[in-house]
Structure 1
Amino acid sequence: MTMSQKCYALLVGINEYHPQSVGVTPLKACLNDVEAMQNLLEKQYVVPTTYIKTLLNKQATRKNIIQNFREHLTANADENTTVLFYYSGHGSRQSLPKAFQKYVAGTSREHRREETLVCYDSRARIGNRWIEKDLADKELAILIKEAAQKNAHIVIILDCCHSGSGTRSKTQTLSQEIQKREVEERAIQDALHRNYLDNYYEQMWEEKGEITLPNSPHILLAGAQKDQSSWETMMGGKRRGVFTYYLEQALLQNPHLTYAELFSLINPRVIGFTEKIYRYQNPQFETYHFFNAHSHFLTGATTSENRKLYGTKMVRSEWRIEQGEVHGLASAETNPTIEWAVYENPKDEGPVALAKTTQVGLDYNVVEVLKGSLNPDQNYLAELRSLPVQQLAIGVNLNPPPADLASPLFKLTEDKTANEQLIIDQEKDNYTITREGIKLVTGKYDSVSRVSKLERIARWHRILDSYNAQPQLFHYEDFPLTFKVVGDDMLAKTVINAQDTLELTSEEGKYFPKQEQRKEENTWAIPYKITAQNLSEYEVYFMLLHLDPFYGIEVYYNGSIPAKTNEIVLAEGYGLFPDEQLTPTIDRFKLIVSTRELHSYLFTQKDIREGFNKPTKRTGQKIPDDWLAKVLEVFTTKK
């Protein structure tokens, strides 16, 4: 596969740490992992050797990692470049300064931690002095921001532990030597005096009196969750990291996978393998600031077809597809003909099986294979083929509707009262999409692209409208969601029940002085903060979605929240901007509360405008799956 754009990679692997390191055991698979990743890049993606920089063992000092990130990745970054940072080695955690704790749920010492990469020299002690510090996740965020400012496509892959609570010993399991990639946390100052990279946060604190984290477009593929261990063992005849091995194997079989497809394939394989050796490792997959999870690995390219494929696997003797109630899928009783086509690879011309939904769960649905056969030890990808009861009605001005615009997600109708309307000229050269009479987008007619946009509209409505009418455990009043205008205590709204609204008036220059108005829209911006509470007796997961008026969806927060959490910041926005086309402009914020962790990439999507760029452990208590959702609609109008 030839890359459609340049790719610069920095690959870091550490088996042997500084001889004076304290509490760090050597690893055996990290150099093999780096070698495998380098071969994958050179042979499968034809990345020139000179574009790949490796730092192995004693080369991987803290200073060298930072310097090479800036000089090899950021210096070569531009809008036609992918930058890849890969790390294989020990991971750890350390105490979190108070200035950052508003972003963390829970008040215990265990919760107030930040993740770190253990560099070659960051645990070495000479006399009474540590010679270096770990590379903290908030420092990596600074490096990512620098590359993102040059509009690069940024990919971060970390195969290390994100927990600091486990041992570092080797154990024998099923005749295989298994080893964790983690070290215990190092005692450091519990205040903002540890000198983060370039004193970035310290200077921000002195200038503004508060800390905000960089939020740059990138994707994170990590070997384990924050409270888990990442394992290495013998795989394929070599010592390998479990996560990197399955990542490499999936991309060797199909280099054209999207990030979402890649994760759907490797996640169950890593979980399944580690469960067999009596361990548990659940990879982490997160997109940040409108990074498109449905673009292709490394290239960032998106196909005109824009097909949505969902992971399919055997769980407890039943086939499950990763679409459920929280994604807006109605029950099998309400919608008895939900049908799927199942593929081995996204590029396959035809499916290997056809299936029908028999049961809809919180975040999955159970299917019965009607035609073809599936291997229980293999993972697949499924495409929705029929959803008749839940099709969104979209008006169209042509009779009959164009046959090339068929989709299981929507149906075209002559109904002129439908909120969304598709207007096509008689020559089928141009089209316009409107909502309630307001023109949203217009352009050249192309059936494949039009279907993609209309499906995004239908999917947006399905996710917005999904709710649980009868939660078993939860009560809406236990999860207050509060929207506040920064600098104006009178403008706030707390959502107690399932839905509420807030009306705002944007006044030019009210919140941002002239020197802060870097862009025209900033003169009308309304700065905001969104917080929430978990007053229940259960540890839960919060996911905060932003559904914008042009049908884009972004995940603003996704994480576990301990029981009795008084308040946590879910989002801090530079500002809501009223759009010239839409009066008022309606931004919707949806909080999903669930007993199960949800994957962000199954919710996110780009809006329908062409070429537009937008500015912990579960408790041991056995509880049933449950969820609820509440929505705040914010109406913004110019004064």
Structure 2
Amino acid sequence: MEKQIYALLVGINEYPVGIRSLNGCLEDVRKIETFLKQNFGQENPTASEPLAEAAQNGGESVVVTSYDKLHICKITNANATYHNIIAGFTQFLRKAGPDDVVWFHYSGHGTEAWTADEFFETVEPGALDQVLVCHKSKPEDGQLLLADKELAALLHEVETLDVEGQAKESPHIVVSLDCCHSGTGTRDPFDEPFVSTRKVVMRKATTREEAIERSDEIRKLDDYYGYGNGKPFEGVPLSRHVFMAACQSDELAAEDPGGGAFTAALMRTLSQSGNQINYADLLMRTRAFIRKTRDKQNPQFSTYGNFNPFTRFLEGSPLGSADRYPVWFNQRLDRWQVQAGAIHGLPTQPETPIQVALFSTGTNGRKVATATITSTGAQKSTLSPLALEAGAAVSETAENLQAEITHLPVPPVFVWLHGVEPFVQKLKDNWDDSKNVQHVAGPEGEQKPMLEVHTAPDEAGSSFTHYLIKDRRSGRLLQRVPAEPDAAPTAVMDSLGKIVRWERTIELKNEQSLLLNKFDFELLVQEAPVKQQVFSAGEVLIHLDTEKYFEHIKDNGEKLLFTRFLPRVRIRQINQDLFFYLLHLRPDYSIRSYAGEIPFKMANHENLNGVVAFPIELNLLTEVSKRDPETGELVLVGKNWALSEGENEATSYFKVIASTEEIDIEQLLQDKLGGSRDDDFEETGDDRISNDWCSKTIKLTMLRQENEIPGLDASALTLANGAIEIAPHPELRAGVGLQQSGGGRRSLDPTHLFAL
């Protein structure tokens, strides 16, 4: 069946008495509807039906209108009640199957409200929900506010359940919010003429303590959709989706009678490119357009559940790569700049210039200029004057330029290439030097190869040939690529580039950073049933066995042995906002960021003393919460990671990056081998740190542990990489287990725990 698109569009201009009305929200909905019909549907509808379970308000029914493969449900003004919006998810968006697309857009008021106790104690240390303001004129309309936690629950259902509540595979999910405080998942007037913001203040209490005394300002867990009502609290579910917001969670979103600034910029970008744009480029160009007129509104972009941002908008096929970086002309400094710096692996003092090629984006994207990087900053670097290609013209107001590194003056990774001709020559003819790998003729000599590409027949002994990519340090076979297809050399080079990028991301660090002493990076590892160990940065070796850890039997009978992880940051001596990003570098050479950007806002913690825990959504990717069978206490644990049946060892890395400014972390991510997947900073004048970043890494190795010495006549058994030797004895039989002690801490400093 052809891919279907399900769009739920909510816009509210007219609110009940007591809530200021807006001007441009219905215009936002109209713009998006027009774009969808022009690019994915048709002008005249093919079908129309009422939305199931939706109540009628204001004299109009809520209907679903189909335009061939495009299905649109608009909920506006008085019909945009809490219950009707939820029905839009449960009765409409949940119809989307695994090959379909879902787009939920909201334009209206956004605000903050005191969160329920359960969220405050676990996932919402700032004590506030970011909420969408629904239309409510009578009790049966439901709640006035739809919280970000409820939106998370609704999206999780769209991802995993159909309308009948049966399990299904995930559709392609897009969320966009044009409202104030929208930066975490969820428009007050300015002094500027004809411009207002989409915000309304709903809280009467100024502190949580005051809200508790009032007793009517803090919602109960049972009042949140998807939580409570007899269900054990297990945190906030996380779904695979891309999220676009008009502003950060502590900013305001502007509008005028022509619509919201964010939606206008978004639709302008999409209208210029159709669907020939990926999500990373869409954010870059949308943000650049808004920043021309709104210096206090920064659109946000996050991906969750390993959503690939380098895929075509509302379509999902691969488009673009993380190897290209946004370029713009800084009018104040009178120079070109690129969104790439030391944090992306560029050397700060290269022996020879870093060379880049500039490309225009879009359907007719081509190389338009070359340049060199003259100064490397933490996250942004300065370019030399552009050398234009023949016939090319580049305006200083261009919004669609990207740079690709063509020469990086760092030592290349050497690859021993050998085997069956002509396949070796075929790969040499298509060798891509931009991947920073260099092939050598043999395994010896000054240029010691780290990797090996060997062309050989497959294991069955037939004449069919593969490129075998191996790690010469460990002898591990990394990938088998069929050599016959014309695209084989490109696939091999892509894998080599990912391996090199993965290795260099591990080594990414800034030893001169002033942030290094501001926090500690820790990893909580859970043993069955509820015991946890805490390890600090460095190397961790875990011996897995079925007595201390967890075993899961898949439907095909395969047994997985796994543990659970919760990375966290212990913050100390911080007097400013920081941004944290967690990377998981997995054994398959993928680089993932499960939770996106994790801001630490001082405004939320300035009155805190002692130790405070800050769990977030990493622990909610899978069913990983567990209750103590005796006390009933919920233990928040982290991401599952398993040893497959027959796999005895696996190593991956957890890396946290801390920065004083926001980072487009998507540029650091990649899929597994073979997988498809601008302001300048100034000194602040006080003791706060600017334009700084650092990273800390934990290397984690899991080993399968057998708890019994097999056979009385067996030879000596070595454990812990040879550090322990156990000799058999004819009169002794015992179980053996190893456990690494957690790191201690000798400090009385007040700290904050900030779980990643």
Contact 2:242 2:307 in 1 (8 A): yes
Match of 1:593?
658
Q: RMSD of the TM alignment (CA)?
A: 3.1
Q: Are 2:424 and 1:424 aligned?
A: no
Match of 2:14?
16
Report the more deviating stretch, 346-355 or 565-574: 565-574
Q: Are 2:465 and 1:441 aligned?
A: no
Report the more deviating stretch, 548-557 or 404-413: 404-413
- CA 433–229 in structure 1, closer or farther in 2 if over 3 Å, else same: same
Match of 1:481?
522
- CA 480–438 in structure 1, closer or farther in 2 if over 3 Å, else same: closer
Q: Deviations over 1:306-347 (max 9, x none)?
A: 57322111233232211111122211x225332222122244
Which amino acid letter does the alignment assign opposite residue 374 of structure 2?
T
Q: Deviations over 1:487-515 (max 9, x none)?
A: 578763432xxx5011112223754477x
Structure 2 runs not aligned, ≥5 long:
43-65, 161-168, 205-215, 458-462, 606-610, 620-637, 678-682, 706-756
Contact 1:541 1:594 in 2 (8 A): yes
- CA 459–45 in structure 1, closer or farther in 2 if over 3 Å, else same: farther
Distance 1:274 1:281 in 2: 6
Which amino acid letter does the alignment assign opposite residue 113 of structure 2?
Q
- CA 46–522 in structure 1, closer or farther in 2 if over 3 Å, else same: farther
Contact 2:188 2:200 in 1 (8 A): no
CA shift, 1:581, in A, is 7.6
**Equivalent residue runs for 1:238-637 within 5 Å:** 239-255=258-274, 256-275=276-295, 280-303=296-319, 306=321, 308-315=323-330, 316-317=332-333, 318-331=335-348, 333-334=349-350, 336-348=352-364, 350-372=366-388, 374-379=394-399, 380-397=401-418, 402-414=428-440, 416=443, 418-425=449-456, 429-435=465-471, 436-445=474-483, 446-471=488-513, 473-476=514-517, 478-485=519-526, 487=528, 492-495=533-536, 499-508=537-546, 510-512=548-550, 523-539=560-576, 540-557=578-595, 558-562=597-601, 566-569=612-615, 571-572=618-619, 573-579=638-644, 583-610=648-675, 621=686, 623-637=689-703
- CA 134–349 in structure 1, closer or farther in 2 if over 3 Å, else same: closer
Match of 1:25?
20
Match of 1:183?
200
Contact 1:405 1:450 in 2 (8 A): no
The secondary structure found in structure 2 opposite 1:249 is helix
CA shift, 1:366, in A, is 1.4
Report the more deviating stretch, 567-576 or 29-38: 567-576
CA shift, 1:443, in A, is 3.0
The secondary structure found in structure 1 opposite 2:111 is strand
Which amino acid letter does the alignment assign opposite residue 216 of structure 1?
S
Distance 1:88 1:477 in 2: 39
The secondary structure found in structure 2 opposite 1:215 is coil
Contact 1:356 1:367 in 2 (8 A): yes
Which amino acid letter does the alignment assign opposite residue 422 of structure 1?
V
Distance 1:346 1:357 in 2: 24
Contact 2:350 2:409 in 1 (8 A): no
Match of 2:163?
none
Larger Cα-atom Rg: 2
Q: Are 2:72 and 1:52 aligned?
A: yes
Distance 1:68 1:191 in 2: 23
Distance 1:454 1:578 in 2: 25
Give the TM-score normalised by the residue count of structure 2: 0.73
Distance 2:158 2:141 in 1: 30
Contact 1:160 1:229 in 2 (8 A): yes
- CA 337–105 in structure 1, closer or farther in 2 if over 3 Å, else same: farther
Contact 2:110 2:179 in 1 (8 A): yes
Distance 2:668 2:646 in 1: 26
CA shift, 1:611, in A, is 7.5
Contact 1:221 1:285 in 2 (8 A): yes
Distance 1:378 1:296 in 2: 22
Q: Are 2:122 and 1:97 aligned?
A: no
CA shift, 1:521, in A, is 6.7
- CA 619–87 in structure 1, closer or farther in 2 if over 3 Å, else same: farther
Give the TM-score normalised by the residue count of structure 1: 0.85
Contact 2:543 2:702 in 1 (8 A): yes
**Equivalent residue runs for 1:104-115 within 5 Å:** 111-115=126-130
Distance 1:151 1:101 in 2: 30
Q: Deviations over 1:54-82 (max 9, x none)?
A: 1111121111111122222112x111101
- CA 262–393 in structure 1, closer or farther in 2 if over 3 Å, else same: farther
Q: Are 2:131 and 1:116 aligned?
A: yes
Match of 1:615?
none
- CA 163–443 in structure 1, closer or farther in 2 if over 3 Å, else same: closer
Distance 1:273 1:434 in 2: 52
Which amino acid letter does the alignment assign opposite residue 79 of structure 2?
Q
Contact 2:481 2:491 in 1 (8 A): no
CA shift, 1:547, in A, is 0.8
Contact 2:650 2:702 in 1 (8 A): yes
The secondary structure found in structure 2 opposite 1:484 is strand
Q: Deviations over 1:375-426 (max 9, x none)?
A: 2222222222221425433333256652213141221323545343323348
The secondary structure found in structure 2 opposite 1:544 is strand
Percent identical: 26
Distance 2:527 2:138 in 1: 45
CA shift, 1:245, in A, is 0.9
- CA 251–541 in structure 1, closer or farther in 2 if over 3 Å, else same: same
- CA 327–388 in structure 1, closer or farther in 2 if over 3 Å, else same: same
Distance 2:411 2:347 in 1: 8
CA shift, 1:296, in A, is 0.9
Distance 1:37 1:460 in 2: 39
Distance 1:488 1:73 in 2: 37
Match of 2:151?
140
Which residue, out of 198, 217, 227, partners 2:240? 217
CA shift, 1:360, in A, is 1.4
Contact 1:407 1:451 in 2 (8 A): no
Residue correspondences, number: 595
Structure 1 runs not aligned, ≥5 long:
613-617
CA shift, 1:217, in A, is 0.7
Report the more deviating stretch, 77-86 or 45-54: 45-54
Match of 1:73?
93
Which residue, out of 140, 155, 158, partners 2:177? 158
Distance 2:196 2:464 in 1: 62
Match of 2:29?
34
CA shift, 1:430, in A, is 2.4
Distance 1:9 1:489 in 2: 42
Which amino acid letter does the alignment assign opposite residue 424 of structure 1?
T
Report the more deviating stretch, 460-469 or 26-35: 460-469
